[in-house]
């Protein structure tokens, strides 16, 4: 099972759960295309630790946003 499939499975269980992936694929998808795939946030490898920390912060904001709905 790929990370993209795991993301979809998580969203199928609870669409309010923020999903982030770190991928080795150099994707060139729009934000809308990424969200349709079930992923909220993406970091491409190689990555900087600061970018991953930023991703976690963004995920926490999404979690708070999803709680409101």
pLDDT tens for 18-60 read 888 887 766 667 777 777 777 888 888 888 899 889 888 888 8
For position 26, what pLDDT does the model report?
Answer: 67
* Nearest-angstrom CA–CA distance, 69 and 50: 30
For the chain, the average pLDDT equals: 81
Residue 41, helix vs strand vs coil = strand
Helix (H) or strand (E) segment spanning residue 43:
strand 41-44
For the entire predicted model, the pTM comes to 0.65
User: Looking at the domain 3-67, which fold is it?
Assistant: Rossmann fold (3.40.50)
Query: Which of these, 40, 13, 15, 18, lies nearest to 29 by C-alpha position?
Result: 40
Is 61 a residue whose pLDDT tops 60? Answer: yes
Q: Where are the domains of the chain?
A: 3-67
What are the tens digits of pLDDT across the range 9-21? 998 998 888 888 8
């Amino acid at each position: 099972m790929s990370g993209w499939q795991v993301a979809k499975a998580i969203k199928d269980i609870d669409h309010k759960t923020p999903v982030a992936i770190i991928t080795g694929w150099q994707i060139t998808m729009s934000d809308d295309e990424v969200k349709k795939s079930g992923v909220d946030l993406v970091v491409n490898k190689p990555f900087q630790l600061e970018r991953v920390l930023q991703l976690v912060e963004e995920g926490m904001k999404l979690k708070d946003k999803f709680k409101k709905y």
